Chains A and B, each alone.
Chain A
Amino acid sequence: MMQTPVELKKPLAKRRMFPKVKISRALLNILLSIYGFVTLYPLIWLFLSAFKSNPEFYEFPFGLPKEWHWENFADAWNVARMGVSFKNSFIVTIAALILTLVFGAMAAFVLSRFRFRGRAAAMALFLLGMLIPIHSTLVPLFIMLKKIRLLDTYGALIFPYTAFELSLAIFVTIAYMSSIPKEMEEAALIDGTGYWGFFFRVMLPLSAPALSTVGILAFLRFWNDFAFALVFISKPALQTLPLSLSMFATGYMTDYRLTFAALSLAVIPTIVVYLVFQEQVMKGMVAGAVKG
């Protein structure tokens, strides 16, 4: 009895508010579009400037290029010797990626499937790795790499990258592997498949979503790393992309077309990966943000 008027009031109030809500929503979307454009602008400016000539860059910093100078990219590629740095970044990233995935998956398998003495200690140790600021290890790592003669080799990047990515890789994969039912393991063992057969044939394929998240995240981190490359690599022939870019940008400060073309070429791979794997990148980075 009492509820009828209340029920009536609600839709009425809502209908009256409706146009107002619609207008404010439209206004909000316009504001959001402006915000998005401003956020994206540095990147738009980068790509547009890469097509301009030097005088045009200086005189007309905004707006589209009058003539699209595609040759800027070829020139930048040659002058900045980007072939070499792309190759180095590729080798280091892929090698560290493989080590991270293999070692990480193996450790996650053991830690999620078996209960044993020392398990808690191992977990705590890997957790510590998530909390340590990377820069605080630069000095001792430099000295250590020098002592074991790894300094100025691919190994000087591959092993530290792997080590610092392992914590995250292990925790993300453990969370996933723990959700795989125990019965599958028993079934596999009864069928005569050993533990490693079970790992390779059942666990790895089933954990593919977690491993791909780990892999994409690791790719971006290794590909973009600057601090380790700066400290551990001094031979020009071994410089990775971010390192050689920073050197190039300092040396060719005033050759805007070359600098911007080189920067554009360097960001294209990461933007492609981002566009293809957006969801996983976002999810992974949020998980990885815990490590920072």
Chain B
Amino acid sequence: MTAKARIRGVIIVGLLPALLVFTFFVIVPILWSAWYGFYDWKGIGAMKFIGFGNYLEIIKDPVFATSLRNNLIVVAASVFGQVPIALALSLVLRQSTLFQRIIRSVVFLPMVLSSVVIGIIWGYIYHPQIGILNSLLEWIGLGSWKQAWLSNPDISMYMLAIPIIWNFIGPYMIMYIAALQNIPSEIEDASAIDGAKPMRMLFSIRLPMIWDTIKVTVVLCISGSLKTFDLIYVMTGGGPAHSTELLASYMYNNTFSIYRFGYGSAISTSIIIISTVLIAGSQLLMRRNTR
């Protein structure tokens, strides 16, 4: 009996600190956020219950639509930019020679930089007067292409997708390399003896065998892209005129610039819903492809 009581004591003492901090600072805020979404509230003063009013407004809000469209551009750029590039790199960098390890480290390096630093550097790269992108274009004789990359609403979102792709290729590449190295060498040897050419090997052996990893990375790409905030905040602040607004930055601007706490909370909840739908959808699509 005393032994049992002692074990119970250990369990309580061990679990309680983590559980308290986690519940108080992660779980409670999520629940509150869902609840605030039903109110009209300026952060101070009375809260007015308006039911689904905020959500109805979201559906009609043109800026929300722009943010969603921009976010889908980021999602597409991530899925169709990061995944193929990381996959190609992993195929040629999977042998772990010194040279390959160095290139791997270089590709991964942007991951450890603060997103503020990344945003400021790329802001200077794209700068209309002093940016090195324009200097480079001039230097190679394409001076007519020079422009203000981040203030042209037609291209700014695509220009912003480039640092995002550059930033996050590393971890996907490492995941693919690990998966490729896990393929039993007997299978590759057997197919080589059967005369499989490299392309055939890639599409019939390697890709199918790491398909589960690819699925995981697509999910990570989607959920990661929907969280993009720091870079946009530092580089454009969502402007000009909301043209580069993303869901997270729109949520921030609504809440902390114009103090619409209720509306901002409703956007937060929408982000969770949209991200769940996109992830479930992508999983369904990719399951069908394997059959």
- Chain A residues with CB under 8 Å of chain B are 28-29, 32-33, 35-36, 39-40, 42-43, 45-46, 57-58, 61-62, 99, 102-104, 106-107, 109-111, 114, 116, 122, 125-126, 128-129, 132-144, 159-160, 162-164, 166-167, 170, 194-196, 199, 220, 223-224, 226-227, 230-231, 241-243, 245-246, 249, 256, 259, 263, 266-267, 270-271, 273-274, 278, 281-282, 285-286, 289-290, 292
Contact = CB atoms under 8 A, between A and B. Distances in A.
B201 to A, nearest CB: 14
Contacts of A164: 25-26
Contacts of A286: 171, 174-175, 178
29 contacts: A42-B121, A103-B17, A106-B14, A106-B15, A107-B17, A114-B7, A126-B18, A128-B27, A132-B26, A132-B272, A133-B223, A135-B227, A135-B271, A139-B261, A142-B256, A143-B36, A164-B25, A166-B22, A224-B114, A231-B252, A231-B256, A241-B114, A246-B120, A267-B113, A274-B109, A281-B111, A285-B174, A290-B216, A292-B224
B121 to A, nearest CB: 5
Interface in B23-48: 23-30, 32-33, 36, 43
Interface of B: 6-8, 10-11, 13-15, 17-19, 21-30, 32-33, 36, 43, 89, 92-93, 99-100, 102-117, 119-122, 124-125, 130, 132, 135-136, 139, 166, 170-172, 174-175, 178, 216, 220, 223-224, 226-227, 229-230, 233-234, 248, 251-252, 255-256, 261, 264-265, 268-269, 271-272, 275
Given A139-B33, A195-B6, A266 B117 contact: yes
Contacts, number: 250
Contacts of B114: 223-224, 226, 241-242, 245, 266-267, 270
Contact of B117 (A39, A57, A166, A245): A245
Given A43-B113, A104-B18, A133-B272, 19 more contacts: A32-B103, A36-B103, A61-B132, A99-B21, A102-B17, A114-B7, A114-B11, A122-B19, A126-B22, A136-B272, A140-B36, A170-B18, A220-B112, A224-B113, A226-B234, A245-B117, A246-B119, A270-B113, A271-B113
